Structure 1
Amino acid sequence: MADQVVDRPVAGAGQFFGRQRELKALRADIERAGLDTLSGRKAPRARVLLIAGRPGSGRTSLAEELVASLAAKYPDGVLRARLTEPGGTPVPTERTARELLDALDIAGPAGADGDELAEMVREALAVRRVLLLLDDAVDAAQVDPLLPENPDCLVVAVARGPLTGIPDVRPCTLGGLDPKSAIELLQSHTGSVRITVDPQAAETLTEVCGGQPAALVLAGAWLGARPKASVADLSKRLHAQPGEPVARAFRLLHDSLPQPSARILRLLSLAPLGLADAHTASALAGCSVSSAQTTLDEFAALGMLRTAENGEYEVPGHIVPLLRQLVEEVERPAEVQLARARMLERTVRLLQSCRAVTEPEGSPARRRLAGLPRALRFTTPRSAAEWLRARQPVLLACARLAVADGELDTLARRLVAALVRALAAHRGTEAAAPELYGLHSLVLDVAERRGLHRERAAALLNLADLDAGTGRTEDALARYRAALDAGRAAGDPYAIGRAMESVGGSYQELGDWLRAADWYGRALAHRLARDERADQARLYGRLAAVNTYAGRYGEALRNWRAAASGHRRLADLPSYARALSEAARVQEYAGRPEECLRTCEEAVEWARRAGDVRLQAALQLRLADTLDRLGDPAAARLHRAAAERLLGGEPSACEIRSASVED
């Protein structure tokens, strides 16, 4: 059986009212014979059920109700993805596919594009039986790349209208709730008394709300907060409001809030992904965390927010555009920008605290952490790691929004830097590589927009390293060359030297030994001019390695001797012994076994002085091989026995690695 995917409940899910006819039709559509079946062919892909309706029509609730009733038939679980951000921005396929792969515990390569990741999703689902819920799709182009090529899977898609381009899909289009279900939904918020004493007014109210669940929830919340208000009075108030039913109910509820609470609600439209916790609300409004928490709880009780996991609250997608419209009408642009800046600054401080808790006790970072307010401190590395894991999607979205804003680039750069350090501290650079790739790309965007050559060089180097680590050597080479140009424009000697050496490494990976040697030579000249001795010794070794591969043994031997000399001047005895061992290897390749033997013996002695047992054993084995070739098997056996003693009877576990490999 394939790995099971945990079915996570939807935040804020509550009672479900009505839609029995639609549920019955959707279940029947699963068994309906498709075009392929009618033509005698096996269906090549999963069946797609489409629920179409306007935001606020209850389309997602219907999809979740359907998924809950079918989940038991899909042993590999339920996967969910939202294809549109609050406010209407489509989510790129690359991000959606990566989220699905994460849910399947499959690592997507850092920097992979949407096509590659979508192919990985389809391959993973081809051997699983899952139910895939794709919520709030904009068009067929978002859905089609993710469809499993497996008829045992089922896809439930939610969209505003038809998904033209996906064959054999019949949309289940939603209107308003039937009167009975609409009144039941309203009654769940108001209680039965006011509905029972004036059933005609209740029916009128459901008609004013158009039977839209979102409007009915807001209307019910308004009545629930005012026990003395009548249903008829609410109907008159809603009639007086302009716009669609959901907008009317929302505006009425918003205008009834105290001014400070209404302002917090409006500013929640700035929350990344429509998700906010008490810290986010506190920073946006400039109030205390406890006050923000109380206000968020009140909004959730009024149906304006949904309670999410990890202490977060979600602004429903149909409310975000209404809040943004109010922000434009009521708030001054300078105040909105200040609220964004406060939110970013609070996020930066939380990330710095998240990383600082991983530092040793007594370190400067821990001392700074102790000076932060209690609300911004993490008590243990585990609590910080859990917070980072839970908030990671929001933090990444916050970084994207900050960079896209363009007016807060200094804060955006600080935020990205803090997030990179926190991810590296808690997850390690290798595990966090996909997220780091996106963050370095954001830094590059800001650097290019602001003409920051040093930051541009650093971002290009980081991206190129990640490209190289995933086998995209050509892409890495292009970025290393661009980083070299940026480093020269910035006058940054570190970036220049690093880029030159990395260009050489890329050519070495591509097997172009001559170009690799040329670039290593340029990097070496740069280090020699700056008298950077450790880097000089390392580069002599890399130059020697590519000359060896190219068959230029004389050059390689001179380079290894120079590397050995540099390591000896630095008192780095293990590296000195390794350089001697590589020189012996070149002498062996060049057909000079006597010289190889002498150099190996010298290297063994220096490895012994350095206390590097594994290197000493490896050199003993090389000596044995050389002695065999020279016709002295007795001496060879002695050296092999010595290697076995050094390694505790496991001589085959030891090898000599060249400096080029280690670097």
Structure 2
Amino acid sequence: MADQAVDDGGTKVSAKGRRPAAGSAPTESQFLGRTRELKELRADIERAGLDTLSGRKAPRARVLLIAGKPGSGRTALAAELAGQVAESYPDGILRARLTEPDGTPVPTESTARELLTALGLPTPPGAGADDLGERLREALAVRRAVLVLDDAADAEQVDAVLPDSPDCLVVAVSEGPLTGIADVRPCTLGGLDTKSALELLGRFTGSVRITVDPLAAEGLVELCAGQPAALVLAGGWLAARPASAVADLSKHLRSEGEDGTALARVFRLAYTSLPSTAARILRLLSLAPAGLVDPHTASALAGCSVQAARTTLDDFAALGLLHAVPGPLPQYEVPGCLQPLLQGLVEAHDRPAEVQLARARMLERTVRLLVSCRAITETDSSPAQEKLAGMPRALRFPSPRAAEEWLTVRKPALLASARLAVADGELDTLARRLMAALVRAMVAHFGTQAAAPELYGIHRLVLDVAERRKLPREKAAALLNLADLDAQTGRSTDALARYRAALDAGREANDPYATGRAMESVGGAHQELGDYDRAADWYGRALAERLARGERVDAARLYGRLATAHTYAGRYGEALVNWRSAVAGHRKNGDVAAQARALSETARVQEYAGRPEESLRTCQEAVEWARRADDVRLQAALQLRLADTLDRLGDPAAARLHRAAAERMLGEELPESAIDPEQDANACEIRSASAEG
């Protein structure tokens, strides 16, 4: 239903003065009813809590609980309350859903990450629930905000993200009481009052059909138990049948008997009124990841065209069977209160093989869309353009911006799709393709750093599949990716454990790349932890393998990493030997820039070793190679090194000349550490001799 509350059965409906055409849904929203409940909830905000009565300052945020069955309009009431009090909370309204559409509780880690992202704060990839929860509480301690926590399964979920600041307000939505959270009085929802319920029906049917037979309309409200979700479905049924009277619908519902809830009876009537093809599509929408459907998803599930799927989804929205999600692209949400009913229909009418085939089609379509989403960014790649040209028009994006917009809008559903595919266990090949395509698309559009939190979760899923299917090569790759993200966020101990596990998996798979990469990374983790002896040992092992396989470029780089470990350990003689080997290796490989950086590091170690004359000569040689490499930044840094060395050798005039040359190169004073660490992640920073002294 277009622009209805994204709810399990909301009470927000059209506010337009004109009536919608038959078969169409209201298009603007206005809250109906619940006046008494809103008044009680607002009064509860100001109510003196137990801490206030005992003379203590409230240590945590006030929690308001809206309790009700799915379909009672509880989410819409929470949204309306948050909107009414928003002026008192200038830092805004934060929303999070605590239960998946299939009833699975959302992990606290995911909830905290979602709320931190909404606040515009970074969320380190791989951080645990405790760390993220603490970050969230710290962020909210200096803010006045409203947290709407929808569909809470238990008190622990709410307590884990409950702000410590009394200046925040938490509005929790749940089916029952949240035992364990102190000083919470639930506002329990029943049906809508008759006046509001009739107005809700009138938004679909027009006022005439209500006023000509008010008794029948009131009887219909009673048959629907005043439940907003049931009334919406009833209104959609009547809107699609302008010739039917309200009494006709009441008669049909009475013939359904007393089997099930009021919502189940109205839904059953709406479902059986659908053509068989549409009924099948509606059932299969229960398979949509995160309950989010777009035309491509519906098309793949049902095996129909995208345009036919779009038309059917619009029809469902008009009938109140779906909620249209506001946004730049067509997307719909399956109401949470209908999910179990649809799942029951799938179990009753569709064979397991048919359901699995529908899932496979959906995953295959998603993979192809992700491939297209990535390929559109590779404008200079002929193979990518050929791949795009070979795809159906419906799967192609008109521009990289359109592809990024689709990826952004569909990201929650795509991540949920990956989780569900892995949990299913029967479609692991498709799941692996999906995760690989998702990683590539996100990196292409968002960059590795920006997408790191999501990538961490995907790599964990890849690891689960690799372990389940006993795929050592994929296991090694997943462990390396996870360990890299651990290392980037300062969890060096965790990274070391994963690098070692990746080494074992690489050896099992007889994968020389994974083995060499893991060995080098183990050395890097030890170096980060300050264990330079072990770091040098592992770098030496990795170097031996590279030399045995004739990998000269990697060997030259590893000589530098080994020299760096020796430098940190104070073994300057061994460091110089390895830096000279690195210089020779880069010279043979024709890498002038790397040769210049290796010479600059050699000069630095010579300076540390108390050999300034040698350092001066080496530094001058490095300047010449940096000039040949056209590396202005390195040239300037080396000029400063020369200046410091000349100062120590008693030649201040020459030192001033070199400093002036450095300033002319970059037009401003350089910091003492002037090498860009991204140029060579294995090089120690260039520091002046005076700084070392």
The normalised TM-score by structure 1 is 0.95
CA shift in 2, pair 1:662/1:235, >3 Å: farther
Q: Distance in 2 between matches of 1:243 and 1:642?
A: 86
Deviation at 1:249, TM superposition (A): 0.7
In the alignment, what sits opposite 2:313? 296
Deviation at 1:277, TM superposition (A): 1.0
CA shift in 2, pair 1:128/1:633, >3 Å: closer
Letter in 2 for 1:267: L
Are residue 325 (structure 1) and residue 340 (structure 2) matched? no
Q: Distance in 2 between matches of 1:335 and 1:657?
A: 57
Q: Which of 537, 542, 559 is residue 578 of structure 2 equivalent to?
A: 559
Q: Distance in 1 between matches of 2:647 and 2:208?
A: 101
Structure 1 counterpart SS, 2:187: strand
CA shift in 2, pair 1:574/1:202, >3 Å: closer
In the alignment, what sits opposite 1:308? 325
Deviation at 1:394, TM superposition (A): 1.1
Q: Deviations over 1:198-231 (max 9, x none)?
A: 3333333222222222112212222332234343
CA shift in 2, pair 1:213/1:323, >3 Å: same
In the alignment, what sits opposite 1:3? none
Q: Which of 291, 299, 304 is residue 282 of structure 1 equivalent to?
A: 299
CA shift in 2, pair 1:220/1:440, >3 Å: same
CA shift in 2, pair 1:237/1:533, >3 Å: same
Indicate if the aligned counterparts of 1:473 and 1:506 stay in contact, CA closer than 8 A: yes
Letter in 1 for 2:277: P
Structure 1 counterpart SS, 2:599: helix
In the alignment, what sits opposite 1:188? 203
User: What are structure 2's unaligned runs of at least 5 residues?
Assistant: 14-29, 685-693
CA shift in 2, pair 1:383/1:607, >3 Å: same
Indicate if the aligned counterparts of 2:496 and 2:525 stay in contact, CA closer than 8 A: yes
Indicate if the aligned counterparts of 2:564 and 2:683 stay in contact, CA closer than 8 A: no
Q: Distance in 2 between matches of 1:127 and 1:9?
A: 31
Aligned residue runs from structure 1 range 91-240, under 5 A: 91-240=106-255
In the alignment, what sits opposite 1:403? 422
Q: Distance in 2 between matches of 1:461 and 1:538?
A: 19
Q: Which of 349, 362, 367 is residue 348 of structure 1 equivalent to?
A: 367
Q: Distance in 1 between matches of 2:636 and 2:102?
A: 65
Structure 2 counterpart SS, 1:156: strand
Aligned residue runs from structure 1 range 3-152, under 5 A: 10=6, 13-14=12-13, 15-152=30-167
- Percent identity, aligned pairs only, is 74
Structure 2 counterpart SS, 1:172: strand
Q: Distance in 1 between matches of 2:381 and 2:573?
A: 53
Indicate if the aligned counterparts of 1:284 and 1:343 stay in contact, CA closer than 8 A: yes
Q: Distance in 2 between matches of 1:554 and 1:432?
A: 43
CA shift in 2, pair 1:514/1:239, >3 Å: same
CA shift in 2, pair 1:621/1:31, >3 Å: closer
Deviation at 1:638, TM superposition (A): 4.2
Indicate if the aligned counterparts of 1:541 and 1:660 stay in contact, CA closer than 8 A: no
- Does 482-491 or 232-241 show the bigger shift? 232-241
Q: Which of 279, 282, 304 is residue 265 of structure 1 equivalent to?
A: 282
CA shift in 2, pair 1:430/1:649, >3 Å: closer
Letter in 2 for 1:409: D
Structure 1 counterpart SS, 2:190: coil
Letter in 2 for 1:51: I
Q: Distance in 2 between matches of 1:656 and 1:79?
A: 42
Deviation at 1:634, TM superposition (A): 4.2
Letter in 2 for 1:264: I
Q: Distance in 2 between matches of 1:661 and 1:482?
A: 23
Deviation at 1:10, TM superposition (A): 4.9
Are residue 440 (structure 1) and residue 459 (structure 2) matched? yes
Deviation at 1:642, TM superposition (A): 4.0
Letter in 2 for 1:162: P
In the alignment, what sits opposite 1:628? 647
Are residue 482 (structure 1) and residue 497 (structure 2) matched? no
Letter in 1 for 2:160: P
Indicate if the aligned counterparts of 1:508 and 1:546 stay in contact, CA closer than 8 A: yes
- Does 278-287 or 214-223 show the bigger shift? 214-223
Matched residues, number:
656
Letter in 2 for 1:157: A
Indicate if the aligned counterparts of 2:66 and 2:171 stay in contact, CA closer than 8 A: yes
In the alignment, what sits opposite 1:430? 449
Q: Distance in 1 between matches of 2:363 and 2:248?
A: 43
Q: Distance in 2 between matches of 1:58 and 1:73?
A: 24
Structure 1 counterpart SS, 2:448: coil
- Does 645-654 or 148-157 show the bigger shift? 645-654
Deviation at 1:21, TM superposition (A): 1.5
Deviation at 1:647, TM superposition (A): 4.2
Q: Distance in 2 between matches of 1:361 and 1:351?
A: 18
Structure 2 counterpart SS, 1:133: strand
Structure 1 counterpart SS, 2:299: helix
- Does 51-60 or 607-616 show the bigger shift? 607-616
Q: Which of 362, 370, 388 is residue 389 of structure 2 equivalent to?
A: 370
Indicate if the aligned counterparts of 2:601 and 2:683 stay in contact, CA closer than 8 A: no
Structure 2 counterpart SS, 1:84: coil
CA shift in 2, pair 1:103/1:645, >3 Å: closer
CA shift in 2, pair 1:489/1:189, >3 Å: same
In the alignment, what sits opposite 1:592? 611
CA shift in 2, pair 1:571/1:175, >3 Å: same
Structure 2 counterpart SS, 1:50: strand
RMSD over equivalenced CA pairs, Å: 2.0
Q: Distance in 2 between matches of 1:636 and 1:128?
A: 53
Deviation at 1:193, TM superposition (A): 3.8
CA shift in 2, pair 1:646/1:296, >3 Å: closer
Q: Distance in 1 between matches of 2:113 and 2:660?
A: 52
Q: Distance in 2 between matches of 1:560 and 1:78?
A: 57
Deviation at 1:64, TM superposition (A): 2.0
Deviation at 1:314, TM superposition (A): 0.9
Q: Distance in 1 between matches of 2:355 and 2:241?
A: 32
- Does 201-210 or 405-414 show the bigger shift? 201-210
Deviation at 1:654, TM superposition (A): 6.8
Indicate if the aligned counterparts of 2:66 and 2:188 stay in contact, CA closer than 8 A: yes
Q: Deviations over 1:145-200 (max 9, x none)?
A: 21222222211111001000111100011122233333333333333444334333
Indicate if the aligned counterparts of 2:561 and 2:683 stay in contact, CA closer than 8 A: no
Indicate if the aligned counterparts of 1:614 and 1:654 stay in contact, CA closer than 8 A: no
Are residue 570 (structure 1) and residue 583 (structure 2) matched? no
Q: Distance in 1 between matches of 2:79 and 2:287?
A: 27
In the alignment, what sits opposite 1:4? none
Are residue 510 (structure 1) and residue 510 (structure 2) matched? no
- Does 257-266 or 577-586 show the bigger shift? 577-586
